[in-house]
């Protein structure tokens, strides 16, 4: 497809999600090439971004996950180089990568989130008091990691102390959220449309890295088992959350229910996984879009 010109599929990079990114990038690259797109893999960890210009690339499909690829850094570089790219811009990516700031934006927009606190590395904190304040069981997350890296649950002082130490290995800030006991959903956004919700079901305590990429018993339900009214409400909530953080092109919003069945926004993913186990392709398939059609649609939404 000559309309796209020479396309670089950015994959790999330096983040903790490098291996997942390489798998996403390989799948995207194969799909584009199968549709006649002049696409080539490009790993910023192995070659400078300036080579995009010297090698004549006219467009970039970003399949980089985590820091350096999903936080606005590469988006800013591509804007400077005047190369159109897929997905959200600098602001949207920078905001969505930071779970703490994302939650504050959503709160300011009146969107539902779980009760939480932020603990900085080396900060003196009353661990027992924090645990009690948030209901006795919590989820701890590094502020700026994806793929559930560095996450852990805690329901005792010792567990929370350990979970904070683990999260602080990855980030100066740890987000401590009240535990959500209800079902977990994810909603993909493509253009200005929310795709069908997927309900996640895992035998693990929560949907962690192993459940995402290694387990064989994780179940994905699409349709999610919601009535039409609930499905529409969840899709609208996800789209509102995506817009609130400046999302564009495509992305994914993760949502979970509390014990009373109320939706609570978890996080925004501006460069979701595109591996064989990934969720956006699964949601797209439910609408009749093949993986190849999905990838081309994402590429068509690219801009500088």
Tell whether residue 162 is among the known ligand binding residues: no
- Distance in angstroms (rounded) separating the CA atoms of residues 160 and 145: 18
pLDDT digits (tens, 9 = 90+) for 214-242: 555 678 999 999 999 999 999 999 999 99
Confirm whether residue 269 is marked as ligand binding: yes
Please tell me the distance from the alpha carbon of residue 51 to that of residue 217, in angstroms, as a whole number. 42
- Contact (CB, 8 A) for 133 and 160: no
Say if strands 173-178 and 138-142 run parallel, antiparallel, or are unpaired. antiparallel
137, 155 Cβ separation under 8 angstroms = yes
For 116-178, which CATH class?
Answer: alpha beta
| 133 appears as a binding residue in the annotation | no
291-300 and 279-286 are packed helices; what angle lies between their axes, rounded to 10 degrees? 100
* Cβ within 8 Å of residue 35, ≥6 positions away: 1, 292, 295, 296
Q: Where in the chain is the domain with CATH 3.30.470.20?
A: 95-111+181-300
CATH 3.40.50.20 in the chain is located at 2-86
Q: Which residues are catalytic?
A: 17, 147, 278
Full-model pTM = 0.90
E strand intervals along 155-207: 173-178, 184-190, 193-194, 198-201
| CATH 3.30.1490.20 in the chain, residue ranges | 116-178
Determine the angle formed by the axes of helices 90-97 and 73-81, rounding to 10 degrees: 170
* Torsions phi, psi for 203 (to 5 deg): -80, -10
SS3 string of 52-63? HHHCCCCEEEEC
Longest dimension (CA), the chain: 61
Which residues of the chain are under the pLDDT cut of 70?
1, 146-148, 203-217, 276
pLDDT value of residue 217 = 66
CATH of domain 95-111+181-300: 3.30.470.20
Instruction: Kindly report the CATH number that applies to the domain delimited by 2-86.
Output: 3.40.50.20
pLDDT for res 65: 93
Residues in the chain: 304
Q: How far apart are the two ends of the chain, measured CA to CA in Å?
A: 20
């Amino acid at each position: 497809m000559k309309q796209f010109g020479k396309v670089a599929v950015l994959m790999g990079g330096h983040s903790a999600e490098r291996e997942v990114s390489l798998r996403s990038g390989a799948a995207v690259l194969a799909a584009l090439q199968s549709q006649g797109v002049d696409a080539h893999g490009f790993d910023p960890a192995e070659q400078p971004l300036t080579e995009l210009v010297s090698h004549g690339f006219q467009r970039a499909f970003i399949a980089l996950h985590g820091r350096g690829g999903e936080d606005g850094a590469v988006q800013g570089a591509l804007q400077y180089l005047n190369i159109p790219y897929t997905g959200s811009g600098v602001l949207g990516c920078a905001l969505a990568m930071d779970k703490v700031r994302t939650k504050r934006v959503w709160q300011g927009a009146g969107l539902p989130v779980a009760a939480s606190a932020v603990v900085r590395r080396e900060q003196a904190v009353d661990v027992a008091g924090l645990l009690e304040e948030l209901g006795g069981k919590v989820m701890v997350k590094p502020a700026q990691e994806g793929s559930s890296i560095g996450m852990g649950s805690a329901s005792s002082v010792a567990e929370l102390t350990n979970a904070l130490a683990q999260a602080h290995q990855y980030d100066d800030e740890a987000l401590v959220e009240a535990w959500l006991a209800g079902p977990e959903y994810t909603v993909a956004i493509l253009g200005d449309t929310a795709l069908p919700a997927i309900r996640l079901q895992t035998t693990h305590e929560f949907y962690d890295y192993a459940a995402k990429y290694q387990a064989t018993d994780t179940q994905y339900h699409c349709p999610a088992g919601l009535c039409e009214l609930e499905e529409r409400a969840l899709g609208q909530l996800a789209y509102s959350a995506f817009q609130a953080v400046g999302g564009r092109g495509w992305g994914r919003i993760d949502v979970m229910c509390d014990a009373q069945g109320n939706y609570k926004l978890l996080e925004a993913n501006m460069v979701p996984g595109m591996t064989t186990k990934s969720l956006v392709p699964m949601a797209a398939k439910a609408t009749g879009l093949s993986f190849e059609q999905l990838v081309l649609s994402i590429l068509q939404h690219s801009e500088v």
